[in-house]
Amino acid sequence: MIILLDRQVKQNNMKKTFKILSLLFISFFATLWSCSSDEIETTKDSEVNRMKTNSEQNIYSSGDIDLFQIANEADVNIPNGQTNEILHYEFVTDFVVPSELQLAENYDALVTFVQENQSEISGTINYYSNDDLIKTQEIENGYAYQIECENPHGGHCDDDYPGMGDCSYEGIRQCTRHGLYEEQGTISKIVCAFTFYECVAVIAADCVEENC
C-alpha cells in the first residue's frame, strides 16, 4: 500500500511538472508570436528574435519567467500581499549561436557546439528581477567568473536561500534562484545563456517536483 501511494505521489508530481512546462512554453511562444511584427535586427547566422545586435555585440534575451504563474499551476498557495518575481536574463556577447541550435529539440547539439567552441565564448550574463538588474557574471574565453551582486535590495546579495525546500511560493522562488545561481557548472551556464527560458522553466518545474 505504501509503495502504491508513493508511486501515485510521484505520478502526480510528474503531471504537475509537465503541466507547468507545457503552459510556460505556450506562454513563451505566444509572446514571441505577438512580437513577430517588431523590427529586430539579426545577424546572418541567427534569425531568432530573442537575439538583437547592439554595435558589435549580440544580446540573447530571454522571455519572462513569472513565478506567480508557476506557483498557481502547481496549486501552491500565494500569501496575500506577496510581491511577484519575474525573472529575466540577457547574455551580451560577440559570439553567435546558429538559430537552429537554440531550439529545444536541438539541446544536445547545442551542448556539443558550446563544448567545442567554449574557449571562444566571452561576454556578460545579466540577471534581472522585475526589470531591475540584480546580478552580473562575466564569461571570458569559456570560463565563468563568480557572480557579482548589483542590487542588495530584496535579499538578492544573500548567500543563503531560506526555505528553499518548502512547498510554498517562497520555497519555489528560493529554490529556483538557488538552481540558477549556485548549481550550474560553466558549460551549463553558457548553454543556459542561449536557452534561458527553457532552462529556468525546467529549474522551476524541478523545484515544484522536489518541494511539493
Q: Most distant CA pair in the chain: distance in Å?
A: 63
Burial track 110-145 (b if 16+ CB lie within 10 A, e otherwise)? bbebbeeeeeebebbbbbbbeeeebbbbebeebebe
Query: Hunting for cell 508530481 — which residue is that?
Result: 13
The residue among 20 and 72 whose pLDDT is bigger is 72
What local confidence, expressed as pLDDT, does residue 154 receive?
Answer: 61
Q: Are 57 and 123 in contact (CB under 8 A)?
A: yes
Query: Hunting for cell 506557483 — which residue is that?
Result: 71
Query: Hunting for cell 542590487 — which residue is that?
Result: 151
Separation CA 121–CA 190 (nearest Å):
8
Q: Are 128 and 155 in contact (CB under 8 A)?
A: no
Comparing CA positions, the residue from 187, 210, 4, 9 lying closest to residue 111 is: 187
What local confidence, expressed as pLDDT, does residue 52 receive?
Answer: 52
**What mean pLDDT is predicted for residues 155-160?**
70
Q: Are 199 and 105 in contact (CB under 8 A)?
A: no
Specify the number of domains making up the chain.
Answer: 1
Mean pLDDT of the chain: 75
Q: Are 174 and 164 in contact (CB under 8 A)?
A: yes
Q: Are 44 and 3 in contact (CB under 8 A)?
A: no
Q: Are 149 and 135 in contact (CB under 8 A)?
A: yes
- pLDDT tens string 17-47: 555 555 454 444 333 333 333 333 333 333 3
What local confidence, expressed as pLDDT, does residue 19 receive?
Answer: 54
What range defines the domain where residue 38 resides?
2-211
Query: Hunting for cell 574557449 — which residue is that?
Result: 119
Tell me the one-letter amino acid at 161.
Answer: Y
- pLDDT tens string 103-154: 778 888 999 999 999 999 999 999 999 999 999 999 999 998 888 988 766 6
